[in-house]
């Protein structure tokens, strides 16, 4: 990734990565093993898989795109973790055609539920892949963030459409098939029997701030990252976040 694109990438992933890293650390202590088995469904090119492998964990990435898996393989090799990252073609609704049930200490389900026909089944499969004590990291598009973005862009009719549409879409041209509220995501997680450990709003401000300001103003990127971290856990901001992150934990 070029240096020019790296700051934007950190804005997209920083909050989620910190929560995920803490969850993996807890799993290490609970399991009594330094290396965990991690499943990344829809993990694509390895935005989270490669950093997790750098921590010493074994990561299996399941993704429907052969091109993404090829990029994952190259990225893992460049990072020196090719021996700890395995890519498998598949999707979450057919998950157990390609991986075993109950074989993982942590499952990542990031940017997946928006695109599957049955989100509840997707979450159930992710949970079924966990060992008796494991953690689920769930990241999905937030409804409120889309409504706010369309309104601020002057597309008021589209903003209202997203607000009232059952799938949270603002129109036929909307590239995201489905969006969620924090309540909907926590219900999906708790409905499987997992304990909801934390809910975070992701990219609350990052997608609304002009890129030229973040990229050129001295100290703006660091300040924005700190602001995102500060509001991530505050429920008042979940309703306007571009993405929502829910951490579910399986108690033995």
- The pLDDT value recorded for residue 79 is 94
Residue matched to tokens 């607000």? 163
Band of pLDDT at residue 146, cut at 50, 70 and 90:
very high
Query: What whole-number distance in Å separates Cα of residue 142 and Cα of residue 23?
Result: 22
Range 8-34 average pLDDT = 84
Has residue 168 got a pLDDT over 50? Answer: yes
DSSP 21-64: HHHHHHHHHHHT-SS-EEEEET-TTTTTHHHHHHTT-EEEEEES
Query: What whole-number distance in Å separates Cα of residue 59 and Cα of residue 106?
Result: 10
- The pLDDT value recorded for residue 9 is 54
Q: Structure tokens of 163?
A: 């607000």
- The pLDDT value recorded for residue 12 is 73
Which 3 state secondary structure label does DSSP give 174?
coil
- The pLDDT value recorded for residue 3 is 33
Q: What are phi and psi of 212, to 5 degrees?
A: -65, -35
- The pLDDT value recorded for residue 219 is 84
Percent of the chain clearing pLDDT 70 (strictly above): 95
Over 135-168, what HEC string results? EEEEEEEEHHHHHHHHHHCCCHHHHHHHHHCCCC
- The pLDDT value recorded for residue 81 is 96
Q: How many CB atoms lie within 10 A of CB 219?
A: 7
pLDDT digits (tens, 9 = 90+) for 210-244: 777 777 788 888 888 899 999 999 999 999 999 99
- The pLDDT value recorded for residue 31 is 84
pLDDT digits (tens, 9 = 90+) for 199-208: 999 999 988 8
- ∠ CA 214-10-60 to the nearest 5 degrees? 160
User: What are the Cα distances from residue 137, in Å, to 17, 86, 114, 155, 207?
Assistant: 10, 19, 15, 33, 22
Q: Which is it for strands 243-249 and 195-202: parallel, antiparallel or unpaired?
A: antiparallel
């Amino acid at each position: 990734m070029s240096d020019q694109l790296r700051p934007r990438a950190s804005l997209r992933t920083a909050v989620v990565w910190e929560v995920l890293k803490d969850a993996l650390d807890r799993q290490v202590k609970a399991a009594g093993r330094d290396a965990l088995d991690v499943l990344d469904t829809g993990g694509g090119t390895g935005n989270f898989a490669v950093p997790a492998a750098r921590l010493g964990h074994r990561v299996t990435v399941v993704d429907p795109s052969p091109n993404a898996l090829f990029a994952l393989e190259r990225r893992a090799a460049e990072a020196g973790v090719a021996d700890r990252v395995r890519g498998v073609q598949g999707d979450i609704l057919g998950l157990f055609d390609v991986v075993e049930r109950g074989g993982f200490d942590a499952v990542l389900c990031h940017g997946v539920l928006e695109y599957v026909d049955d989100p509840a089944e997707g979450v159930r499969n992710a949970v079924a892949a966990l060992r008796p004590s494991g953690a689920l990291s769930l990241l999905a598009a937030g409804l409120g963030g889309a409504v706010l973005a369309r309104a601020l862009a002057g597309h008021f009719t589209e903003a209202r459409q997203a607000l009232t549409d059952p799938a949270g879409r603002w129109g036929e041209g909307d590239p995201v098939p489905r969006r969620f509220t924090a309540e909907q995501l926590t219900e999906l997680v708790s409905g499987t029997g997992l304990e909801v450990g934390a809910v975070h709003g992701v990219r609350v401000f990052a997608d609304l701030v002009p890129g030229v300001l973040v990229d050129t103003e001295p100290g703006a990127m660091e300040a924005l990252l700190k602001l995102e971290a500060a509001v991530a856990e505050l429920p008042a901001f979940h309703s306007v976040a571009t993405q929502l992150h829910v951490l579910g934990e399986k108690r033995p």
